[in-house]
Amino acid sequence: MADYAYYTGTYLGTSITESDFLRLATRAASKLAYYKRVYTVTENTDAENMAVCAMADALYYFETAANGGLTQSSSVGSVSSSAVNPSPDLSEKAQAAELYRCARLYLEIYRGAGGC
């Protein structure tokens, strides 16, 4: 499984703090293990590590959104900015779809015994 040094050095992630990374990466790796049980997934350690990092980023986003941490407005000095964004879909179905999408960025995931 990818570690924090991989996340910041190879994946070039910046969202997740070191103290949160292990928890989120463990959840992401668990979901990837589920995909490997249910689907046919390419075997490539580097691609799997990249997928775990992308999935961990998505989990971080969902946690942040659920806790009200997404910035709607900000100001620096006399300049302010605000955005009217609809609330993101935090449903279990939406989260599952996003995690699957993140994994597919780096891995070939398909049903059956062989790829096309």
Give the mean model confidence (pLDDT) for residues 72-99.
73
Average predicted confidence (pLDDT) for the chain:
87
Structural domain includes residue 62: yes
7-41 pLDDT tens trace: 999 999 999 999 999 999 999 999 999 999 999 99
Specify the pTM: 0.82
The torsion of the CA quartet 40, 8, 95, 109, rounded to 10 degrees, works out to: -10
Query: Domain residues for 38?
Result: 4-68+91-110
Please report the beta strands in 1-116, taking only residues with DSSP state E, as ranges in sequence order: 40-41, 73-76, 79-82, 109-110
When divided into structural domains, the chain yields a total of 1
Structural domain includes residue 52: yes
Structural domain includes residue 33: yes
pLDDT confidence tier of residue 74, bands split at 50, 70 and 90: low
Structural domain includes residue 73: no
